[in-house]
């Protein structure tokens, strides 16, 4: 269990903690800051999400720099990311912050690309690397989630729905990157059209 894998496991452990705080919504009170009514439980959930997101960045950097890439890491790292993001978005549907159809598109894309990655590994033995559209998708999703949890802190005072803007950017990047991945790897499906 090397350091990158420990960080991945730590991120997976944070997911149920994140989920419990959002589900139970403990009565810790509300902060009124910079034009934002911010429930303290949502602030704590945002901190957990930020910490988990930082471990995602760190484990990948450490694994590549120190040549500590393992099969466990290849499996668990992207799984942990998807579980974290999907958990947040499903709660956002419950809170009426994000429409269900939007979350459904994001989840369908994630599951489809996971399937595509599996096919590519089976056929070519290669791991499908994240391309720039996928990185933009991930970054915009994470920023959107953080600002939903922070109730647009810093933007609410000037009436800018920043989290909502970011989730729309994430949706566009999700659709574009999904199409891009499938188009660039369409040869994986050639045997079905012969």
pLDDT band at residue 116 under the 50/70/90 scheme: confident
Residues with Cβ < 8 Å from 120, sequence gap 6 or more?
126, 127, 128, 185, 188
Q: Residue 62 CB: number of other CB atoms within 10 A?
A: 17
Q: What is the mean pLDDT of residues 39-60?
A: 91
Given a cut of 90, whether residue 14 has pLDDT beyond it is: yes
pLDDT at 127: 63
Given a cut of 80, whether residue 22 has pLDDT beyond it is: yes
DSSP 47-71: HHHHHHHHHHHHHHHHHHHTT---H
Given a cut of 90, whether residue 95 has pLDDT beyond it is: yes
**Spatial distance between the Cα atoms of 130 and 106, rounded to a whole number of angstroms:** 16
pLDDT at 125: 64
Higher pLDDT residue, 121 or 54? 54
Higher pLDDT residue, 154 or 64? 154
What is residue 152's DSSP assignment?
Answer: T
Q: What is the mean pLDDT of residues 122-140?
A: 77
Q: What is the mean pLDDT of residues 122-146?
A: 81
Tokens of 36: 């934002």
Decide: 103 and 89 in contact? Cβ < 8 Å. Answer: yes
């Amino acid at each position: 269990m090397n350091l990158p894998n420990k960080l991945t496991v730590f991120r997976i452990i944070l997911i149920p903690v994140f989920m419990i705080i959002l589900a139970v919504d403990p009565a810790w009170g509300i902060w009124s800051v910079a034009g934002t009514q911010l429930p303290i439980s949502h602030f704590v959930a945002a901190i957990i999400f930020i910490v988990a997101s930082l471990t995602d960045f760190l484990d990948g950097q450490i694994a590549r720099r120190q040549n500590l890439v393992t099969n466990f890491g290849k499996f668990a790292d992207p799984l942990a990311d998807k579980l974290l993001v999907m958990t947040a978005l499903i709660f956002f549907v419950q809170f009426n912050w994000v429409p269900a159809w939007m979350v459904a598109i994001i989840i369908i894309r994630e599951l489809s690309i996971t399937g595509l990655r599996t096919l590519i590994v089976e056929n070519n033995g290669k791991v499908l690397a994240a391309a720039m559209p996928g990185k933009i998708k991930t970054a915009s999703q994470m920023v959107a989630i953080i600002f939903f949890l922070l109730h647009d802190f810093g933007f609410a005072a000037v009436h800018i729905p920043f989290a909502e803007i970011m989730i729309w950017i994430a949706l566009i990047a999700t659709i574009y990157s999904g199409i891009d991945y499938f188009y660039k790897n369409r040869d994986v499906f050639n045997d079905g059209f012969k």
